[in-house]
Structure 1
Amino acid sequence: MTTSALPFPNLSRRGFLAGSAALSALALAGCASTTERLPPEPTFDPAYLQMYAALPNEKFPVPAVDLRYLKPTHFRQYVPDPTGERPGTIVVNTGERYLYLVQEGGQALRYGVGIGREGFAWSGRAEIARKAMWPTWTPPHEMVLRDPNAAPWANGMPGGLGNPLGARAMYIYQDGRDTIYRLHGTSDPATIGEAVSSGCVRLINQDVIDLYQRVPVGTPILVV
């Protein structure tokens, strides 16, 4: 074949061959990308799939938790009690990012939690003095001043999936006074085990619903 026989007269034979090779490589790469196998979806214990399944009968139906985003170390589970507190006590270990509900027989029911970005700003002994289902969220005055997203809700945000308190809230009082800290729900599993909130202790909605039904008003709580 002569140069003039090439599809583009101004292209040299060497350039044409190089271009053809490049196009062939691209074609092969394209084929490879369409046939490449994706990593398999993780397999979860059916017990956990049931534990974190959707809750369609709630006032605001709660979707299932995408367990790919919830750390396996922070799934709800029974463990030997590390606290030494009497049964029925809630213990929040902010360093571990765990909440323990102490049980009889040296056991505890452990939940993964998220805490405040600067660490939990309050610690000590108190009690759960109030509980609420699908609570109203009223941002503190200081938050309203510094956060323009909070300002529209200065008089309270109604309960719902978009509410920062989630499906349940338990209000921490010390010596009869509101500490302004709460145990509350969230629909964001990636925040469990992290320091991300404005100071309260958050549990995934399925876990806070479970805890809510286990603890009455007056339950002692220790935050360490």
Structure 2
Amino acid sequence: MSLKVKLGLLAAGLMLSGCMQATTYEATNTQAFKPKDKELLSKIRYANTPVAEPYRRAIVDYHRKEAPGSIVVDSDSHYLYYVLEGGKAIRYGITVGEEAMAWSGIAKVGAMTEWPAWHPTKSEIERLGVPTFVAPGPDNPMGSRAMYLYANGKDTLFRIHGTNQPEYIGASISSGCIRLTNEDAIDLYNRVKVGTIVVVLDPKKGDSPYKPQMALQGGATFAAMQ
């Protein structure tokens, strides 16, 4: 991880941690894991990589008007929200695309895959020097789950998926896709279905569910979601 990214994540963590009391909680519901999940996740060499507490899964107050069951992505704050009933949402920390590669708009989940293979785009192959195909598994950048975003009946080539780099949760470094920890990707995958609405907010438009520095106010409740 670059020094710039490390300092950015540290600053964000310090800024956000000042808005909350210390909380002890279990972030991972392993009961939701399938045998293959447990097998592959146990092989991941970075299994003990900590995610900064502000980006760990939480139930928070939510003021926007999207219907329960919708997904809202706030790239500015590096959060994905799964909207619940009663003015609440499950908030997940995410990695998002670099500014030039970010995507925004309204889409639907058009397909879903467990432990997907990775087929890099031509531009990714040229830019990153990666192979044309990466098999499913713990070293695959797609991680444990993938939700493929479609708009107007066509694949946008943007995905919500897991990661093999959890240390970058809270940063803007991806090729435009939305990355969660593998555990959070499994949790979200188990809640959504094909046809789920996904709203990706325009960056820097002031339309975020929470300003980053206020994200943990309003009584955030941390829990292992069942």
Aligned to 1:208: 185
Unaligned runs of 5+ in 2: 1-21, 202-226
Q: Structure 1 residue 142: deviation in Å? A: 1.6
TM-score normalized by the length of structure 2: 0.71
Q: Structure 1 residue 61: deviation in Å? A: 2.4
Aligned to 2:124: 143
Does residue 94 in structure 1 map to residue 75 in structure 2? yes
Aligned to 1:160: 137
Paired letter, 2:134: M
Aligned to 1:61: 40
Structure 1 CA distance for aligned equivalents of residues 86 and 29 of structure 2: 23
CA contact (8 A) 1:91 1:222 kept: yes
Q: Aligned in 2, Cα 1:44/1:103: closer, same or farther, shift over 3 Å?
A: closer
Q: Structure 1 residue 81: deviation in Å? A: 1.2
Aligned to 2:92: 111
CA contact (8 A) 2:140 2:164 kept: no
Q: Structure 1 residue 106: deviation in Å? A: 0.9
Residue among 74, 79, 82 paired with 2:63: 82
Structure 2 CA distance for aligned equivalents of residues 189 and 145 of structure 1: 24
Question: Where in structure 1 do 4 or more consecutive aligned residues deviate above 3 Å?
Answer: 50-53
CA contact (8 A) 1:94 1:119 kept: no
Instruction: From the two aligned structures, give the one with the greater helix fraction.
Output: 1
Residue 99 of structure 2: SS of its match in structure 1?
Answer: coil
Structure 2 CA distance for aligned equivalents of residues 119 and 95 of structure 1: 14
Q: Structure 1 residue 58: deviation in Å? A: 2.4
Q: Aligned in 2, Cα 1:73/1:108: closer, same or farther, shift over 3 Å?
A: same
Residue 65 of structure 2: SS of its match in structure 1?
Answer: coil
CA contact (8 A) 2:115 2:136 kept: yes
What are the Cα deviations for residues 138-180 of structure 1, in whole angstroms up to 9, with x where unaligned?
01012222332x1xx31x2110011110010000000011111
Structure 1 CA distance for aligned equivalents of residues 101 and 30 of structure 2: 26
Provide the aligned C-alpha RMSD in A.
Answer: 2.4
Paired letter, 1:86: A
Residue among 99, 102, 111 paired with 1:130: 111
Aligned to 1:34: none
Structure 1 CA distance for aligned equivalents of residues 61 and 128 of structure 2: 42
Residue among 70, 78, 92 paired with 2:51: 70
What are the Cα deviations for residues 5-42 of structure 1, in whole angstroms up to 9, with x where unaligned?
xxxxxxxxxxxxxxxxxxxxxxxxxxxxxxxxxxxxxx
CA contact (8 A) 2:110 2:150 kept: yes
Q: Structure 1 residue 199: deviation in Å? A: 1.0
Identify the structure with bigger relative contact order (alpha carbons < 8 Å, sequence gap 6+): 2
Larger Cα-atom Rg: 1
Structure 2 CA distance for aligned equivalents of residues 70 and 138 of structure 1: 27
Does residue 185 in structure 1 map to residue 166 in structure 2? no
Paired letter, 2:159: R
CA contact (8 A) 2:141 2:165 kept: no
Unaligned runs of 5+ in 1: 1-42
Structure 1 CA distance for aligned equivalents of residues 73 and 101 of structure 2: 10
Match runs of 1:21-40 below 5 Å: none
Paired letter, 2:60: V
Structure 2 CA distance for aligned equivalents of residues 56 and 173 of structure 1: 27
Q: Structure 1 residue 120: deviation in Å? A: 5.3
